[in-house]
Amino acid sequence: MRTPPDGLPIYRVLTGPDDATFCQRVSEAISLGYELHEGPAISFNGERVIVAQALLWPTQP
C-alpha cells in the first residue's frame, strides 16, 4: 500500500472561499493521488461562499 507523499495524512479536508485558488488546491490533491470523498460542503458566511472538500488516500492498489 502506498502512502501519501511528504507525510500528508490519508484523510484531508480542504476549506476556503469558493474561488480559483480553492479549486487549484483540490486539483493538486487529486493529482497527488487523493480521491474526493462525497461532494463538497458549501456555506455562506455573510460575505462570500465558503466550501469544504474531504479527500481520501486510496487504500486499495
pTM of the model: 0.89
Query: CA 26, CA 2: separation in Å to the nearest integer?
Result: 20
Query: Are 50 and 43 within 8 A, CB to CB?
Result: yes
Question: What is the mean predicted confidence (pLDDT) over 30-44?
Answer: 97
Across the range 27-32, mean pLDDT stands at: 97
Q: Is the pLDDT of residue 28 over 60?
A: yes
**H/E element, 44:** strand 35-44
Q: What percent of the chain has pLDDT over 70?
A: 97
pLDDT value of position 61:
65
Sign of the alpha-carbon dihedral angle for 60, 29, 54, 39: negative
